[in-house]
Amino acid sequence: MKRINIGLLGLGNIGTGTYKALEMNRDIIVARTGLDFEITRILEKFVDRDRGITVPTEKFTQDPQTIWNDPEIDIVIELLGGIEPATSFMLEAIKHGKHVVTANKAALATNYEALQTAAKENNVMLRFEASVGGGIPVLNALTTALLANEYEEIVGILNGTTNYILTKMTEEGLEYEDVLKDAQAKGFAEANPTADVEGIDACNKLSILISLVFGQRIRPEDIPTTGITGITKEDINQAKADGQVIKLLASAKTQANGLQYAVAPVRLDRSHPLASVGNEFNALFVTGNAVGDLMFYGKGAGPLPTASAVLGDVIEISRAIAKGSAYDI
């Protein structure tokens, strides 16, 4: 049986979830694909941290070059987060002929062209399903099953942390700071929660979506973005009294004067389908000129949901490797 060897950059929350999910579901993945998978090297400095998984010490390395210089490694999974050194590491891996899977929306949104161009030039696959909507396979659907559509609008709840905070503030009347700590403890929030609560994370995800859906490169800094730090208990109660909820929405819509896009807290009537998307769940409404309205819904954050999307990408690439067609066209 062909074995796919994987180099993993980062054994934090999502890296640990990915390692765990592969161990947990190895048998069904092998049965479904006829391929075996092994994470053979892991770039991580905290070797002894208790993660609830058993990782042989010899898999750890402190030197990223040992990963892209390893001729046995087929795929590099980048789960370091942050723009650098993650982008440079992905580019190096690509230049060394490795296929790359990442969940890193900040690196992708900032360096989209450089990463895509490098992947094309080096005939490798770059996949990033987990970067938008966590476990929801929305990028896959938008770039395959829905390709026959002209897209008119996308509106999404794309950040689990802020949705969790707004939900708890609404349902339990809690203060913003208390809920944020809880979200961090559950592993939804970024190490620096500013990116979540200021809307930057949702903005990065919207930038990636716009590239795929509307074929336009809109840099994150050009997307008008407002987070939820200014939302008070009083705002929440006022919305409630008016039969509404406050949600952080990321949207893009084609209009006569061009594409309009923004990330901002918006009041939604309780009857709106996005109003009932609670906690760390994400959702994306898509309107296509043939399919009409669609809504994707699922867990947008957390180690195992994100791992589900990461491993889906790994499997897609591995099948292509096995068929000899692992290059992007």
Amino acid identity of residue 236, one-letter, is I
Give least dist CB 202 to ligand HSE, A: 8
State which residue, 30 or 304, has the beta carbon closest to ligand HSE: 304
Rounded Cα distance between 45 and 61, Å, is 7
| Number of residues binding to ligand HSE, judged by CB under 6 A | 11
Where in 40-99 is the site for ligand HSE (CB under 6 A)? none
* Binding flag, residue 159, ligand HSE (CB under 6 A): yes
Amino acid identity of residue 156, one-letter, is G
Contact 229, 179 (CB under 8 A): no
Where in 261-320 is the site for ligand HSE (CB under 6 A)? 300-301
Give least dist CB 225 to ligand HSE, A: 15
State which residue, 33 or 159, has the beta carbon closest to ligand HSE: 159
Per-residue tokens: 257: 């004067």
State which residue, 64 or 134, has the beta carbon closest to ligand HSE: 134
**Residues with catalytic roles:** 205
Rounded Cα distance between 148 and 160, Å, is 30
Q: Which residues pair with 286 in a beta bridge?
A: 154, 294
State which residue, 220 or 288, has the beta carbon closest to ligand HSE: 220
Contact 117, 48 (CB under 8 A): no
Rounded Cα distance between 296 and 288, Å, is 13
Q: Which stretch binds ligand HSE (CB under 6 A): 2-10, 59-67, 76-84, 158-166?
A: 158-166
Per-residue tokens: 299: 């867990």
Give least dist CB 315 to ligand HSE, A: 21
Question: Measured between alpha carbons, how far is residue 137 from residues 129, 131, 132, 203, 299 in Å?
Answer: 6, 10, 9, 19, 11
Give least dist CB 46 to ligand HSE, A: 20
Rounded Cα distance between 119 and 102, Å, is 13
Among 16, 111, 122, 161, binds ligand HSE (CB under 6 A): 161
Give least dist CB 301 to ligand HSE, A: 4
* Binding flag, residue 188, ligand HSE (CB under 6 A): yes
Q: Which stretch binds ligand HSE (CB under 6 A): 57-65, 68-76, 189-197, 240-248?
A: 189-197
State which residue, 158 or 236, has the beta carbon closest to ligand HSE: 158
For the window 194-213, what string marks contact with ligand HSE as x by the rule CB under 6 A?
Answer: --x----x------------
Rounded Cα distance between 208 and 139, Å, is 9
Q: Which residues does 181 contact at the CB level (< 8 Å), separation at least 6?
A: none
Rounded Cα distance between 167 and 181, Å, is 14
Q: Which residues pair with 224 in a beta bridge?
A: none
What would the DSSP string read from start to end of 237-287?
Answer: HHHHHTTEEEEEEEEEEEETTEEEEEEEEEEEETTSGGGG--TTEEEEEEE
Q: Which stretch binds ligand HSE (CB under 6 A): 55-63, 65-73, 141-149, 186-194?
A: 186-194
Where in 124-143 is the site for ligand HSE (CB under 6 A)? 134
Q: Reduced to 3 states, what is the DSSP secondary structure of residue 262?
A: strand
Contact 285, 121 (CB under 8 A): no
Give least dist CB 306 to ligand HSE, A: 7
State which residue, 110 or 159, has the beta carbon closest to ligand HSE: 159
Residues engaged in binding ligand HSE (CB under 6 A):
134, 159-161, 188-190, 196, 201, 300-301
